[in-house]
């Protein structure tokens, strides 16, 4: 079981791919739109994250003969989806605890 916390770029890349398979530039634009323009990833950061996710088997390349080499598409694997779900659960738990703590503080 992988219980480590994800970095923000990795989490955003996973969330972007959770909706549909995307290529690099589409992931960048989706993350920008998802965060309301607050998170602008560089290509270095994006491909660093993609490479690590590929190596860990969380995402995979969609192999199509028609796809040019400079515009390859990535999608979430079942392992990646499961781990993303676990991370969301972890964050949900954390926000619940945070809300409780804040409520106690205000009371």
Q: How many CA atoms lie within 13 A of 13 on its CB side?
A: 30
**Total residues contacting other proteins (rule CB under 8 A)?**
32
Which of 51, 62, 91, 94 touches other proteins (CB under 8 A)? 51
Regarding 46 and contact with other proteins (CB under 8 A), the answer is: yes
CA 91 – CA 40 distance, rounded (Å): 22
**Sign of the alpha-carbon torsion through 33, 10, 2, 5:** negative
Which of 15, 18, 52, 75 touches other proteins (CB under 8 A)? 52
Regarding 77 and contact with other proteins (CB under 8 A), the answer is: no
- Residue 61 neighbours by CB distance under 10 Å: 14
Regarding 25 and contact with other proteins (CB under 8 A), the answer is: yes
Regarding 95 and contact with other proteins (CB under 8 A), the answer is: no
Regarding 6 and contact with other proteins (CB under 8 A), the answer is: yes
Toward other proteins, which CB reaches closer, 38 or 107? 38
Q: Tokens in use for 96?
A: 């619940």
CB 13 within 8 A of CB 46: yes
Q: Tokens in use for 80?
A: 């990646």
Q: List residues binding other proteins (CB under 8 A).
A: 2, 4-10, 24-25, 28, 38-52, 55-56, 69-72
């Amino acid at each position: 079981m992988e219980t480590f916390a994800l970095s923000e770029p990795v989490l955003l890349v996973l969330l972007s791919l959770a909706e549909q398979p995307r290529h690099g530039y589409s992931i960048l634009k989706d993350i920008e739109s998802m965060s309301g323009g607050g998170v602008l990833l560089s290509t270095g950061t994006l491909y660093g994250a993609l490479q690590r996710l590929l190596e860990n088997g969380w995402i995979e390349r969609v192999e199509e003969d028609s796809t040019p080499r400079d515009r390859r598409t990535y999608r979430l694997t079942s392992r990646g989806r499961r781990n993303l779900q676990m991370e969301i659960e972890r964050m949900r738990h954390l926000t619940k605890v945070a809300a409780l703590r804040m409520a106690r503080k205000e009371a």
